[in-house]
């Protein structure tokens, strides 16, 4: 791996800031619906009208028509128009980043992530996981990763069953977003025919989307339905640690997509944990886990050691089993990662 040019790092930071500002600016303008005025007993009232995922038209009372609400509705319409020049600026930044050597996402995956973003998945606290997130973390840290750790068309989206914010009329319909792409996405039949699918694939392609959620009931792997995404998710152990307090990043393909990704230190330690959980038949994935953990730890211990310590302290509080898994993974590496893992073990006082 090698460091990106400073100019590229600066452009990427600008892109993320611009996308975050756009998201805040268009938060009202891109709500799925419109304001309408209803007259009741001679007085006029604003309602927000929208269609829920089932196609049923709903109305939410906003208040009696007034100058204040008139200005809010005006900003609502302005927000939709104001986004057009912002999109042009994003396109220019992404072109500069491609020329500057930033890590890019393949076109197909980029289309899927854009559709999920437009549907509201990341606004509603969905988190991009897996190798796609690892690529985003490389851009955030200004690093070119070893390409062997980046090869995948798997897209993993994580979400908890609850939300930290209450937006009852906002929904992100994942199956509808995939259908709208007209790429041929099909749900993967579950092993238990009574369970809903938690994965989608494109026949004849390596492209795959998996929806995941933290495991709440140890030993029970039944899919959990996520109403706000209109899709079921597969519960996984250790995912709550990975997804806590995510950070903003940008996926770059033809344009830029604002996503949530795990904190780099949590991502690295989580990769060490799941390495221990991989069966022998998943050896290749296990090697990728170690490769991604090693590259992240090397950068973080040199430049952001405090981040590693904070994540490690929380992990230790979760029990000796968690600590043991990390220790075992650090001693299971090949010569390629031995130096960085020995340094990590000493840094974490595991030896």
Strand pairing partners for 199?
Answer: 210
pLDDT value for 220: 76
- Whether 20 and 262 have beta carbons less than 8 Å apart is answered as no
Measured in whole angstroms, the distance separating CA 159 from the mean position of its chain's CA atoms is: 9
Report d(CA 257, CA 229) in Å as an integer. 18
**pLDDT digits (tens), the chain, 351 positions:** 899 999 999 999 999 988 887 776 555 555 567 788 888 888 888 887 877 555 677 777 777 888 877 877 777 766 656 555 677 888 899 999 999 999 999 999 999 999 999 888 998 889 999 999 999 999 999 999 977 666 677 999 999 877 654 444 467 899 999 999 999 999 998 888 889 999 999 988 889 999 999 998 877 778 999 998 999 999 999 999 999 999 999 999 878 999 999 999 999 999 999 998 887 677 788 889 999 999 999 999 999 999 999 999 999 999 999 999 999 999 876 678 889 999 999 999 875
The CA–CA distances, whole Å, from 275 to 90, 151, 153, 268, 320 equal: 37, 18, 20, 11, 17
pLDDT (0 to 100) of residue 81: 61
The predicted pLDDT at position 65 comes to: 85
Q: Given this model, what pLDDT does residue 169 score?
A: 46
Q: What is the pTM of this model?
A: 0.82
pLDDT at residue 70, as a whole number: 84
What pLDDT sits at residue 80?
58
Residue 5: half-sphere exposure toward Cβ, Cα within 13 Å: 10
pLDDT at res. 166: 45
User: What is the number of other CB atoms lying within 10 angstroms of the CB of residue 81?
Assistant: 9
């Amino acid at each position: 791996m090698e460091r990106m040019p400073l100019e590229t790092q600066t452009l990427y930071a600008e892109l993320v800031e611009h996308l975050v500002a756009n998201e805040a600016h268009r938060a009202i303008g891109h709500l799925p619906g419109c304001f309408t005025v209803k007259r009741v007993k001679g007085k006029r009232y604003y309602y927000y009208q929208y269609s829920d995922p089932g196609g049923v038209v709903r109305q939410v009372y906003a208040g009696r028509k007034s100058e204040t609400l008139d200005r809010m509705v005006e900003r609502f319409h302005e927000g939709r128009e104001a986004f057009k020049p912002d999109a042009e600026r994003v396109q220019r930044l992404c072109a500069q980043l491609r020329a500057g050597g930033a890590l890019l996402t393949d076109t197909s995956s980029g289309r899927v992530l854009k559709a999920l973003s437009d549907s509201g998945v990341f606004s509603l606290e969905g988190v991009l996981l897996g190798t796609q997130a690892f690529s985003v973390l490389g851009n955030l840290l200004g690093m070119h990763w070893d390409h062997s750790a980046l090869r995948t068309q798997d897209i993993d989206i994580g979400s908890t069953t609850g939300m930290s914010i209450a937006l009852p009329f906002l929904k992100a319909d994942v199956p509808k977003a995939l259908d709208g792409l007209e790429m041929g996405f099909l749900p993967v039949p579950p092993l238990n025919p009574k369970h809903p699918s938690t994965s989608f694939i494109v026949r004849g392609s390596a492209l795959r989307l998996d929806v995941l959620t933290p495991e709440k009931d140890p030993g029970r792997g039944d899919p959990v339905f996520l109403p706000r995404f209109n899709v079921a998710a597969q519960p996984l152990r250790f995912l709550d640690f990975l997804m806590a307090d995510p950070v903003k990043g940008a996926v770059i393909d033809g344009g830029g997509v604002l996503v949530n990704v795990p904190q780099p230190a949590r991502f690295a330690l989580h990769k060490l944990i799941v390495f221990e959980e991989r069966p022998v038949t998943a050896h290749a994935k296990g090697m990728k886990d170690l490769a991604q953990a090693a590259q992240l730890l090397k950068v973080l211990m040199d430049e952001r050691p405090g981040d590693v310590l904070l994540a490690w302290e929380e992990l230790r509080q979760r029990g000796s089993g968690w600590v043991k898994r990390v220790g075992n993974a650090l001693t299971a590496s090949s010569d390629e990662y031995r130096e960085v893992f020995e340094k990590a073990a000493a840094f974490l006082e595991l030896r």
